[in-house]
Structure 1
Amino acid sequence: MTRCRLCGSTALESVVDLGATPPCESFLAAERLDEPEPAYPLHLRVCTDCWLAQIPPLITPEETFSEYAYFSSYSSSWVEHARVFVEDAAARLGLGEDSFVVEVASNDGYLLRHVVDRGVRCLGVEPSVNVGAAAREAGVPTHTAFLSPETGAEVRAEHGPADLVVANNVYAHIPDVIGFTKGLRALVADDGWVSIEVQHLLTLIEENQYDTIYHEHFQYYTVASAIRALAGGGLTLVDVELLPTHGGSLRLWARPDEAAGEPSRRVSDVLAREKAAGLQELSGYTEFSARVAKVRRDLLRFLVEAAEEGKTVVGYGAPGKGNTLLNHCGIRPDLLPYTVDRNPYKHGRYTPGTRIPILPPERIAADRPDYVLVLPWNLRAELVEQLAYVHEWGGRLVFPIPELSIVEVER
């Protein structure tokens, strides 16, 4: 990687090198276990001209998203997050029966189903054939395509301009940042709104959230770098919200340049926080790699000591972030014999690289392990409640990030 994908600069500095891993959502069927797996470098760098953090685009979105293993609706807290967003956005923007909402990367309809319930016309634009089919089965109109300026123009020509365009957890997934942003601009009405949710680089750095670095996330945003990316497609940031989702996310509210007006005070407040954290100078990134190494050492020490004491440790969840963690730490079935997941699509498959079996959640109650290693740590509150039953046999939960934490759970 020699040039920044946002500004074209060659001034790229290393933040953390996680070695080489397989794509995080390339779960293996049993019949593929004797086949080789491709692994790709996972090296995060930051551009010291525009401060966009990024990894090389070694895997295309088409390879990752044409068929996808992640279904948003399996997280009850995420569905509730989407419901609250739709309710608030409808009130904020005055959405009604005459409005039109488009969501890009709409997954299985987890968000737009709430728009449908309000009687508001909507459309999902989703590249993954399998999850798009699930959305249509749930009654959410869905167009199968990757967003580009051309796709945006085609959707607008057929359905009309959107009063609101939603792009949650996709702005990091597209290597052509400017082209994708132009696609958003093509979809939205000249006086409309774009709402984008994306992980905040500030919390990623501060909270050691390095497992959210994986190949389908091509870049990692601050508000400062997001302003520059939006401007490249004809959009202006007018407001920002700090969210707890995914360990700390930004909700960016943007409008077409001609309708934007002055940004809110919250935009300048977050920019000031980022600057105070050193994210507009190299010093803000230099200690991250050492903190990542400590997360790895602490987790491996715990697993090895548990094995030597005859304690059983199993996993909960098989998220993409978990596969970054497992591969970086070199955790295999000798230390974690299996993990479980609520998504039936993953049952009977194996984690990429580490080849840990993925089983239904009921297996935990049947085996009564001493510890459950929670891989989707960002859903901590939801999962502490879901897994309260492990208290029945004295089991405990283990969260690896931001630092190793062993939790006693009670009903």
Structure 2
Amino acid sequence: MVIATCRLCAADLTETFVDLGMSPLCESYLTAAQLDGPETFYPLHVRICSACLLVQLPAYVSGEAIFSDYAYFSSYSRSWVAHAGRYAEAMAADLALGPDSLVTEVASNDGYLLRHFVARGVPVLGVEPAANVAAVARARGVRTEVRFLGADSGADLAERYGRADLVVANNVYAHVPDLVGFTAGLAALVKPTGLVTLEFPHLLRLIERHQYDTIYHEHYQYLSLLTAGRALATGGLAVVDVEELPTHGGSLRVYARPESAAGEPSSRVKTVLDAERDRGLHEVAGHRGFAAAVATVKRDLVDFLQSAHGQDRRVVGYGAPGKGNTLLNHCGIRSDLLPYTVDRSPHKQGRFLPGTHIPIHPPEQIDRDRPDFVLVLPWNLRTEISEQLGHVRDWGGRLVFPIPRLEVA
């Protein structure tokens, strides 16, 4: 048997964090013509490095295979666009950004964030590997390069466009198999006195809130502040501040600067590190026991769906996020228990979920069918979706949230 090695420190990976079996790529939505063809499943076996404590999924699939053509468009979440707008407003004020500044975002998607800086007259550069998504950003007036970030591409982009006052990397630091090379790219893009900010789901919250559906092949690592700091240090970047955010079930926004300009970190850095230490995340043993919590989530959801089916009560899905595909495939849920789901993105409508082959309809299908229950797969957008689906209660329908524990609301 070949033993995988840690992508951060190269130690052998012999400790399991959780093994979710086999699953297809979470964003590989199928057309009707593909339903009778073969479909590839890959392991979802997450390890923890005994040396540096990085929780990681071996690169069973390359980043190019996942991200070169992508089905996720950030702008379809109103709450996420609003979150980006608040960030842009704060950064523009704090850093006094203006027409002589530069903001570079890595994994800039469809321009959901950079468009807020464009509206303020701040020059921007988006770096987005998915050509189909980058085209949407360009159509919105967001200057975007179709590139994967690494040490060489970061240096090339900095030479062509200049180094940035602010480098943004939202929900991408967990998505890169070459963590060291990507970090070198971030360091190349930022000015010697500039700022790098990263947002990613916090491993501490993933464990506490049983968020195992956020494990999928495009998430190569699951980060604590401790391990994120160790990764950033490989590129000469030092953590100077951190915020705890409610997004994605509990995220961190990490602020880092080149080490020569970093200075002393804020007190919030120590607070978060202490919380991780208290939970046991500064040693391997503190990561054990997650598999038992996963089994409980699976059992409760399957029991609920089978019970509803046995009582001739209809359950349909809302949303077609990547996390939902991990959940449904791990639980073995198919269209007999969940006949369809809906999604606001026209890029997903008319397609089928990978592995489960559950069809994806426009949201209006729920209003026509008036089901008894709506299973909310993007539970991390609970507030936004609860408002969108508030009318379901008009016909006696109820919303079901599977994470952190089954709740019928």
TM range (shorter): over 0.9
Aligned to 1:337: 339
> What residue identity is the alignment partner of 2:84?
A
Structure 2 gap segments, 5+ residues each: none
Counterpart CA distance in 2 for 1:403 and 1:191 is: 44
Partner SS state of residue 272, structure 1:
helix
| Amino acid paired to 1:17 | D
Match of 1:18 in 2: 20
Using the TM superposition, name which of 251-260 and 71-80 deviates more: 251-260
Distance of 1:10 and 1:69 partners within structure 2: 34
Q: Distance in 2 between matches of 1:124 and 1:12?
A: 38
Q: Give SS of 2:173's match.
A: coil
Does residue 226 of structure 2 align to residue 185 of structure 1? no
CA contact (8 A) 1:67 1:129 kept: yes
Contact 1:399–1:405 (CA<8 Å) still a contact in 2?
A: yes
- TM-score, normalisation: structure 1: 0.98
1:167 is the counterpart of 2:153: no
Q: 1:282, CA displacement in angstroms?
A: 2.7
Q: What is the correspondence of 1:226-305 to structure 2 with a 5 Å cutoff?
A: 226-305=228-307
The code of the aligned residue for 1:122 comes to V
The two structures have a TM-score, normalised by structure 2, of: 0.99
Instruction: Choose from 353, 356, 371 the match for 2:355.
Output: 353
Match of 2:92, SS state, is helix
Cα distance per residue 1:187-243 (max 9 Å; x no partner): 001110000001100000000000000000000111110111000011111111111
CA contact (8 A) 2:69 2:131 kept: yes
Q: Where does residue 363 of structure 1 map in the other structure?
A: 365
Q: Deviations over 1:53-83 (max 9, x none)?
A: 0011011111111110000000000000000
1:11-90 matched pairs, under 5 angstroms: 11-90=13-92
Deviation at 1:11, TM superposition (A): 4.9
Shift of residue 44 of structure 1?
1.1
Give 1:101's aligned residue: 103
Among 116, 119, 122, the alignment partner of 2:121 is 119
Separation (CA, whole Å) in 2 of partners of 1:359 and 1:193: 42
Q: Distance in 1 between matches of 2:124 and 2:283?
A: 42
Does the 8 A contact of 2:166 with 2:194 survive in 1? Answer: yes
After superposition, what is the alpha-carbon deviation per residue over 1:347-382, rounded to whole angstroms, capped at 9, x for unaligned?
A: 111000011000000000000000000000000011
Question: Quick check: 1:166–1:194 contact (8 Å CA) kept in 2?
Answer: yes
Deviation at 1:121, TM superposition (A): 0.4
Task: Output the CA distance in 2 between the equivalents of 1:268 and 1:8.
Answer: 27
C-alpha separation between the residues in 2 aligned to 1:73 and 1:93?
25
Cα deviations by residue, 1:2-58 (Å, 9 ceiling, x for unpaired): 211111112531111100000000001110001110100001111121111001101
2 CA distance for matches of 1:163 and 1:280? 33
Give the whole-Å Cα distance in 2 for the aligned partners of 1:129 and 1:4: 30
CA contact (8 A) 2:53 2:284 kept: no
1:129 aligns with one of 105, 128, 131: 131
| Secondary structure in structure 1 of the residue aligned to 2:66 | helix
Which residue of 2 is the match for residue 373 of structure 1?
375
Distance in 2 (CA, whole Å) between partners of 1:319 and 1:68 is 12
Deviation at 1:248, TM superposition (A): 0.6
Q: Tell me how far 1:283 sits from its aligned partner.
A: 2.8
Root-mean-square deviation (Å): 0.8
Task: Quote the Cα distance in structure 1 between the aligned partners of 2:4 and 2:197.
Answer: 31
How far apart are 1:285 and its partner, in Å? 1.9
Alpha-carbon separation, structure 2, partners of 1:226 and 1:106: 20
2:217 counterpart letter in structure 1: H
Q: Secondary structure at the match of 2:240?
A: strand
Given that residues 184 and 235 in structure 2 are in contact (C-alpha distance below 8 angstroms), is that contact kept between their aligned partners in structure 1?
A: yes
Residue identity opposite 2:218 in structure 1:
E
Contact 1:11 1:49 in 2 (8 A): no
Residue of structure 2 in register with 1:215 after alignment: 217
Structure 1: state its 5+ residue gaps. none
Equivalent position amino acid for 2:166 in 1: L
Match of 1:383 in 2: 385
1:273-297 CA-to-partner distances (Å, cap 9, x unmatched) read 0000011123322211001000000
Amino acid at match of 2:298: R
Secondary structure in 1 aligned to 2:48?
strand
- Which residue number corresponds to residue 151 of structure 2? 149
For the residue of structure 2 that corresponds to 1:346, the secondary structure is: coil
Measure how far apart 1:141 and its partner are: 0.7
Give the residue type in structure 1 aligned to 2:251: S
State whether residues 295 and 401 of structure 1, in contact with CA within 8 Å, keep that contact through their aligned partners in structure 2.
Answer: yes
Deviation of residue 391 (structure 1)?
1.0
Instruction: State the secondary structure of the residue aligned to 2:174.
Output: coil
Select the residue among 91, 94, 97 that pairs with 1:92: 94
Contact 1:4 1:12 in 2 (8 A): no
